[in-house]
Chains A and B, each alone.
Chain A
Amino acid sequence: ILNVEQSPQSLHVQEGDSTNFTCSFPSSNFYALHWYRWETAKSPEALFVMTLNGDEKKKGRISATLNTKEGYSYLYIKGSQPEDSATYLCARGGGTSYGKLTFGQGTILTVHP
């Protein structure tokens, strides 16, 4: 993996479904992995910053895990609600520019009532 990649690109689920998406990133020279939620017409909102292999973070119905050795992170949403509809972005911190975040292209989640 040379860049930060997210899958799937888009996802449609029904209200109440649980769902998850993947962020893959270069595992070398890793410092941090950020997750953001970006609702239409609003500012991207920071969800998690993860640094250690095996990290698990939780915020309400949303949780994330991190595997730095193999270079991936999963974001889980339990019991999706229509208000969870948004673009979910992950970003890798590190590399040649210390404070720079390299973003994936995002996963667009639509939760249907």
Chain B
Amino acid sequence: EAGVVQSPRYKIIEKKQPVAFWCNPISGHNTLYWYRQNLGQGPELLIRYENEEAVDDSQLPKDRFSAERLKGVDSTLKIQPAELGDSAVYLCASSLALGSSSTDTQYFGPGTRLTVL
């Protein structure tokens, strides 16, 4: 079974440029998460989707970040414009069930390492 796929794996951009990350979850997984991991810290949830609906986006900086999961399968996270402080690893994860439970295992992709110069 294929795992969570993310692309690109690495991205270097200059500040004020736009950037987009793509995620394809495990087949059949209904819930999709985007996390950001800053250097020296643990991953922090940005947004959670159940199918195509964003059910928790309270931590997403909406002035510059946007996300979509149009057909309830793959998802795109965009930053426009990027700032120096956006340098981080962006992780995508998926889990099987809807109505996400705290006991559900979340399966992670390898992440995209973003460097903003």
Interface residues of A (CB under 8 A from B): 4, 31-32, 34, 36, 41-44, 46, 49, 51, 89, 91, 93-94, 97-106
Contacts of B40 in A (CB 8 A): 105
User: Which of B31, B44, B109 is within 8 Å of A103, CB to CB?
Assistant: B44
Main secondary structure of the interface of B (DSSP, over half): loop
- Interface locus among B14-22, B71-79, B96-104: B96-104
Task: State A42–B104 Cα separation when bound (angstroms).
Answer: 21
How far is A94 from B100 in the complex, measured between Cα atoms in Å? 11
- A111 CA / B22 CA spacing, docked (Å): 34
Bound Cα distance A100, B48 (Å): 9
Q: Which residues of A contact B106 (CB under 8 A)?
A: 34, 46, 101
- In the complex where A46-B106, A99-B104 touch, is A104 in contact with B42 (Cβ < 8 A)? yes
B8 to chain A minimum Cβ distance, whole angstroms, is 14
Could you list which residues of chain B lie within 8 angstroms of chain A, going by C-beta atoms? 3-4, 31, 40-45, 48, 56, 58, 91, 95, 99-111
Give chain A residues whose Cβ lies under 8 Å from the Cβ of B91. Answer: 44
**Cβ of B101 and Cβ of A98 under 8 Å apart?**
yes
Cross-chain contact B103 with A32 (CB below 8 angstroms)? yes
Residue of B nearest to A36 (CB): B108
A93 near B3 with CB under 8 A, answer: no
Known: A43-B3, A43-B4. A91 touches B42 (CB 8 A): yes
Cβ–Cβ < 8 Å partners of B4 in chain A: 43
User: How many angstroms between the C-alpha atoms of A36 and B35 in the bound complex?
Assistant: 15
CB < 8 Å neighbour of A99 from B43, B44, B56, B58:
B56
Q: Which residues of A are found within 8 Å of B56, using beta-carbon distances?
A: 97, 99-100
* Residues in chain A near residue B101, CB distance under 8 A: 31, 93, 98-99
Bound CA–CA A15/B22 (angstroms): 38
What are some 26 contacts across the A-B interface (CB < 8 A)? A4-B42, A31-B101, A32-B103, A36-B108, A42-B110, A43-B111, A44-B91, A46-B107, A51-B103, A89-B42, A89-B43, A94-B102, A97-B58, A98-B102, A99-B48, A99-B102, A99-B104, A100-B45, A100-B56, A101-B45, A103-B42, A103-B43, A103-B44, A104-B42, A105-B40, A105-B41
